[in-house]
Amino acid sequence: MPPKDFDQFSDQVYRMMSDMFKDAKPLWYQPDRSFSPLMDIYETEDHLVVVLEIAGMKAEDIHVIFDKDILSISGFRKEPSSPTKIRLHQMEIDYGKFQRTIRIPFPLRSDDFKASYRQGFLVITVPKTKEPVSPNVEVKIR
Protein backbone atom coordinates (compact mmCIF):
# COMPACT_ATOMS: atom_id res chain seq x y z
CA MET A 1 0.00 0.00 0.00
CA PRO A 2 1.58 3.33 -1.02
CA PRO A 3 2.03 5.97 1.75
CA LYS A 4 -0.71 8.21 0.33
CA ASP A 5 -3.28 5.41 0.42
CA PHE A 6 -2.20 4.45 3.93
CA ASP A 7 -2.62 8.06 5.12
CA GLN A 8 -6.13 8.20 3.66
CA PHE A 9 -7.00 4.85 5.22
CA SER A 10 -5.59 5.97 8.56
CA ASP A 11 -7.63 9.21 8.41
CA GLN A 12 -10.81 7.26 7.62
CA VAL A 13 -10.27 4.88 10.53
CA TYR A 14 -9.55 7.79 12.89
CA ARG A 15 -12.73 9.64 11.79
CA MET A 16 -14.82 6.48 12.09
CA MET A 17 -13.53 5.76 15.61
CA SER A 18 -14.00 9.39 16.67
CA ASP A 19 -17.58 9.42 15.37
CA MET A 20 -18.38 6.12 17.01
CA PHE A 21 -17.16 7.14 20.48
CA LYS A 22 -17.61 10.92 20.52
CA ASP A 23 -20.63 10.96 22.86
CA ALA A 24 -20.24 7.62 24.60
CA LYS A 25 -19.24 7.49 28.23
CA PRO A 26 -17.03 4.63 29.43
CA LEU A 27 -18.63 1.64 31.12
CA TRP A 28 -17.21 2.70 34.49
CA TYR A 29 -18.88 6.11 34.11
CA GLN A 30 -20.56 7.46 37.22
CA PRO A 31 -22.81 10.46 36.59
CA ASP A 32 -21.64 13.75 38.02
CA ARG A 33 -23.64 15.37 40.71
CA SER A 34 -24.57 18.06 38.22
CA PHE A 35 -25.05 18.40 34.51
CA SER A 36 -25.70 21.10 31.96
CA PRO A 37 -28.77 20.53 29.77
CA LEU A 38 -28.67 21.63 26.15
CA MET A 39 -30.07 25.11 25.61
CA ASP A 40 -31.09 27.36 22.73
CA ILE A 41 -31.37 31.13 23.21
CA TYR A 42 -32.72 33.39 20.52
CA GLU A 43 -34.60 36.60 20.16
CA THR A 44 -37.36 37.77 17.91
CA GLU A 45 -38.17 41.39 17.26
CA ASP A 46 -40.24 41.56 20.47
CA HIS A 47 -39.18 38.61 22.68
CA LEU A 48 -36.31 36.65 24.15
CA VAL A 49 -36.84 32.89 23.93
CA VAL A 50 -34.90 30.29 25.95
CA VAL A 51 -35.41 26.57 25.31
CA LEU A 52 -33.89 23.84 27.51
CA GLU A 53 -33.93 20.13 26.74
CA ILE A 54 -34.64 18.51 30.11
CA ALA A 55 -36.74 15.39 29.62
CA GLY A 56 -37.79 13.12 32.46
CA MET A 57 -38.71 15.81 34.98
CA LYS A 58 -41.82 17.32 36.50
CA ALA A 59 -42.45 21.05 36.08
CA GLU A 60 -42.42 21.49 39.87
CA ASP A 61 -38.80 20.21 39.96
CA ILE A 62 -37.64 23.09 37.73
CA HIS A 63 -36.98 26.59 39.11
CA VAL A 64 -36.71 29.74 37.01
CA ILE A 65 -35.61 33.00 38.65
CA PHE A 66 -34.92 36.34 37.00
CA ASP A 67 -32.94 38.89 39.01
CA LYS A 68 -31.99 42.18 37.33
CA ASP A 69 -30.22 40.92 34.20
CA ILE A 70 -29.58 37.30 35.23
CA LEU A 71 -31.88 34.41 34.29
CA SER A 72 -31.26 31.29 36.39
CA ILE A 73 -32.77 27.91 35.57
CA SER A 74 -32.15 25.01 37.94
CA GLY A 75 -33.58 21.69 38.95
CA PHE A 76 -32.95 18.06 39.77
CA ARG A 77 -33.52 15.05 37.52
CA LYS A 78 -33.86 11.81 39.47
CA GLU A 79 -32.56 8.57 38.04
CA PRO A 80 -35.52 6.29 37.40
CA SER A 81 -35.65 3.24 39.61
CA SER A 82 -34.80 0.12 37.72
CA PRO A 83 -33.82 -3.44 38.46
CA THR A 84 -30.32 -3.92 39.75
CA LYS A 85 -27.86 -3.31 36.97
CA ILE A 86 -25.70 -6.36 36.55
CA ARG A 87 -23.78 -5.26 33.51
CA LEU A 88 -23.77 -1.71 32.13
CA HIS A 89 -23.27 -1.31 28.42
CA GLN A 90 -23.70 2.41 27.95
CA MET A 91 -24.65 5.36 30.18
CA GLU A 92 -25.28 8.65 28.37
CA ILE A 93 -28.23 10.19 30.22
CA ASP A 94 -27.23 12.60 32.97
CA TYR A 95 -29.07 12.73 36.29
CA GLY A 96 -28.75 14.94 39.32
CA LYS A 97 -28.89 18.68 39.71
CA PHE A 98 -28.42 21.23 36.98
CA GLN A 99 -28.20 24.98 36.72
CA ARG A 100 -27.90 27.25 33.72
CA THR A 101 -27.33 30.97 34.24
CA ILE A 102 -27.70 33.51 31.47
CA ARG A 103 -26.85 37.21 31.53
CA ILE A 104 -29.41 39.12 29.47
CA PRO A 105 -27.83 42.12 27.68
CA PHE A 106 -31.08 44.09 27.24
CA PRO A 107 -34.13 44.90 29.45
CA LEU A 108 -36.99 42.40 29.66
CA ARG A 109 -40.54 42.80 30.97
CA SER A 110 -40.03 40.71 34.06
CA ASP A 111 -43.72 40.89 34.96
CA ASP A 112 -44.65 39.00 31.79
CA PHE A 113 -42.49 35.84 31.78
CA LYS A 114 -44.14 32.82 30.18
CA ALA A 115 -42.67 29.40 30.92
CA SER A 116 -44.05 26.06 29.78
CA TYR A 117 -42.72 22.53 30.08
CA ARG A 118 -43.95 20.02 27.52
CA GLN A 119 -42.51 16.87 25.98
CA GLY A 120 -39.17 17.35 27.72
CA PHE A 121 -38.61 20.98 26.67
CA LEU A 122 -38.79 24.02 28.92
CA VAL A 123 -39.68 27.08 26.85
CA ILE A 124 -39.33 30.53 28.42
CA THR A 125 -40.61 33.54 26.48
CA VAL A 126 -40.15 37.10 27.74
CA PRO A 127 -41.09 40.37 26.02
CA LYS A 128 -38.30 42.89 25.52
CA THR A 129 -38.77 46.43 26.84
CA LYS A 130 -37.01 49.77 27.00
CA GLU A 131 -37.97 50.31 30.64
CA PRO A 132 -35.80 49.22 33.59
CA VAL A 133 -36.63 45.78 34.94
CA SER A 134 -37.94 44.95 38.38
CA PRO A 135 -35.57 42.78 40.41
CA ASN A 136 -36.02 39.18 41.49
CA VAL A 137 -38.96 37.44 39.85
CA GLU A 138 -39.72 33.76 40.36
CA VAL A 139 -41.33 32.38 37.21
CA LYS A 140 -44.16 29.85 37.43
CA ILE A 141 -43.96 27.01 34.90
CA ARG A 142 -47.18 25.83 33.27
Report the alpha-carbon distance of residue 128 to residue 42 in Å, rounded: 12
The number of folded domains in the chain is: 1
Q: Phi/psi class of residue 96: alpha, beta or left (left: φ > 0; alpha: ψ in -120 to 50)?
A: left
pLDDT digit string, tens, across residues 85-115: 677 788 788 889 999 999 988 888 878 889 9
What pLDDT shows up at residue 120?
Answer: 95
Q: Is the pLDDT of residue 27 over 80?
A: no
| Residue ranges making up the domain that contains 13 | 3-139
Taking only the tens place, the pLDDT of each residue in 1-17 is 555 666 677 767 767 76
- Report DSSP state, residue 141: B
Residue 57 contacts residue 77 (beta carbons within 8 Å): yes
Assign residue 11 the CATH number of its domain. Answer: 2.60.40.790
Instruction: Tell me the β-bridge partners of 125.
Output: 49, 114
Q: Is residue 20 within a helix (H) or strand (E), and if so which, with residue range? A: helix 3-21
Widest CA span in the chain: 70
Beta pairing partners, 72: 65, 101
pLDDT tens, residue by residue, 39-64: 999 999 999 999 999 999 999 999 99
